[in-house]
């Protein structure tokens, strides 16, 4: 090998070391195949980014699922019992008119219930309070008294139903708040229990209600603080999610704006289609030969990136102005790749050697080495010398020159 050739080979090897991606070019495929046959590998070809692609922001770490109220708070549940499921006792007709006779009977039954309650016979006390309620269903104290019996017989749900009715009849019933607070305590509902017992002690200075409040208050305060923290976490999480939605929306808007700028820049760089024979419109206007839509070019990042290369943009304008100039670029893979891509995007039918062979309205099919031009250049279909496509014929076969009689 001559010295000059050897120096060129050394320079080429040095270039491959610095930019191994060039070995992916079609003209160097034989070098790539030789290296791979020896067991070597070529680094993967990096995909170029379009100008509007912003780097992706790191995804925020998912927030832990909120825990239940009691899951991470230590509460002493001593004395808590299971819920009772007995059918509700009669509560009387709230709309009935109570006669004096019924009122007297209700008072007698109430006295009997009180005696049974004092004797510790809670079942009998409930029975007599129930009969008294049927006689006088508008008496708030009767429901509160029966609720006290239910609490002592470990039936907190029944007691809560009676206290609710008592408070409907008298919203300021300290007795109803007291026993409903006690029923909530039996169920382990510390916050609700403390709330009712506080209300009971505000309405009436009841020593028993005060003692019960002292018992449940520490547990309620601990649980209330836990609930407040949980609510703050929820609010913080919702605020972060809202800010993240705003951030993503702004990113999308910025991408859309940059894309619009790139499309406008491409329109400026691409040749004016209105000035070309048969092109019928600017890219993006949808007016191309045979109904081809040039807006498809603007939606392809690879084409947008390619047209930022001055060499490609100049070649495209050169060929678009004069299809015969196509022959100048047959040995330039970079430019031919873009032209093939443009033809594919425009949906030109008929492919031969990667380029379309039959163009709408006559075209470049018969030109030696051309393989077809991705545009209808109008008027080119009938050129003598093998341009092909007279009267819309895109078969690519050369046509004989016109005779003298035809010219006449």
pLDDT per residue as tens digits for the range 243-287: 999 999 999 999 999 888 877 776 665 554 444 433 433 343 344
Q: Are 116 and 72 in contact (CB under 8 A)?
A: no
DSSP-derived 3-state class of residue 356 = strand
| C-alpha span between 73 and 321 (Å, rounded) | 79
Domain residue extents for the chain? 100-220
Strand pairing of 355-356 and 351-352? Answer: antiparallel
Distances (CA, A) of 182 to 215, 285, 288: 11, 79, 84
The CATH architecture assigned to 100-220 reads: Alpha Horseshoe (1.25)
| SS3 category, 57 | coil
Tell me the per-residue pLDDT of 198-242, one tens digit each, with 9 for 90 and over: 999 999 988 999 999 999 999 999 988 888 888 889 999 999 999
Burial class (CB in 10 A: 0-12, 13-18, 19+), 289: buried
- The answer to whether residues 367 and 347 touch, using CB atoms and an 8 Å cutoff, is no
pLDDT (mean) for 89-100: 86
Res. 399: pLDDT tops 50: no
Half-sphere exposure of 120 (CA within 13 A, CB side): 0
Of 321 and 379, the one with more pLDDT: 321
Element (H, E) at 351: strand 351-352
Instruction: Specify the pLDDT at position 76.
Output: 77
pTM: 0.46
Pseudo-torsion of CA 137, 138, 140, 146, nearest 10°?
A: 0
Q: In 153-206, where does DSSP find H-type helix?
A: 156-169, 174-187, 190-203
Specify the range with the lowest mean pLDDT, choosing from 128-142, 244-258, 301-315.
Answer: 301-315
Contact 376, 278 (CB under 8 A): yes
CB-side neighbour CA atoms (13 Å) of 41: 3
How many Cβ atoms from other residues are within 10 Å of residue 103's Cβ? 14
Residues 6+ apart with CB under 8 A from 95: none
Determine the 3-state secondary structure of 393 from DSSP.
Answer: coil
pLDDT at 139: 93
Which residue has tokens 């109220």?
69
pLDDT of residue 147: 96
Q: Which two tokens stand for residue 229?
A: 């923290």
């Amino acid at each position: 090998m001559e010295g000059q050739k050897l120096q060129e080979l050394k320079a080429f090897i040095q270039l491959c070391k610095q930019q191994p991606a060039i070995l992916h070019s079609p003209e160097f495929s034989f070098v790539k195949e030789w290296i791979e046959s020896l067991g070597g590998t070529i680094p993967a070809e990096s995909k170029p980014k379009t100008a509007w692609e912003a780097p992706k922001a790191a995804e925020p770490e998912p927030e832990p699922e909120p825990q239940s109220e009691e899951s991470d708070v230590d509460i002493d549940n001593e004395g808590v019992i299971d819920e009772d499921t007995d059918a509700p006792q009669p509560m009387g007709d709230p709309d009935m008119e109570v006669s004096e006779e019924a009122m007297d009977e209700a008072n007698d039954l109430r006295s009997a219930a009180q005696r049974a309650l004092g004797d510790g016979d809670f079942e009998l006390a409930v029975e007599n309070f129930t009969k008294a309620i049927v006689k006088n269903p508008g008496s708030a104290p009767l429901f509160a008294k029966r609720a006290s019996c239910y609490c002592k017989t470990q039936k907190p749900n029944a007691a809560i139903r009676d206290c609710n009715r008592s408070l409907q009849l008298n919203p300021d019933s300290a007795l109803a708040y007291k026993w409903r607070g006690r029923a909530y305590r039996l169920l382990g509902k510390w916050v609700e229990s403390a709330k009712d017992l506080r209300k009971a002690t505000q309405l009436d200075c009841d020593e028993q209600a005060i003692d019960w409040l002292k018992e449940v208050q520490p547990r309620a305060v601990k649980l209330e603080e836990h609930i407040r923290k949980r609510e703050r976490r929820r609010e913080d999480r919702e605020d972060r999610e809202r800010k993240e939605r705003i951030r993503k929306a702004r990113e999308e808007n910025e991408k859309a704006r940059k894309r619009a700028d790139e499309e406008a820049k491409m329109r400026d760089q691409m040749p004016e289609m209105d000035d070309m024979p048969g092109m019928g419109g600017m890219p993006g206007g949808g007016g191309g030969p045979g109904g081809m839509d040039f807006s498809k070019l603007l939606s392809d990042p690879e084409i947008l990136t390619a047209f930022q290369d001055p060499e490609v943009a100049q070649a495209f304008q050169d060929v678009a102005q004069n299809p015969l100039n196509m022959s100048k670029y047959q040995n330039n893979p970079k430019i031919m790749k873009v032209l093939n891509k443009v033809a594919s995007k425009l949906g030109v039918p008929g492919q031969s050697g990667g380029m379309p062979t039959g163009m709408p309205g006559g075209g470049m099919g018969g030109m030696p080495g051309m393989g077809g031009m991705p545009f209808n250049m109008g008027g080119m279909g009938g050129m003598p010398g093998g341009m092909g496509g007279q009267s819309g014929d895109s078969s690519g076969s050369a046509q004989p020159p016109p005779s003298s009689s035809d010219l006449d």
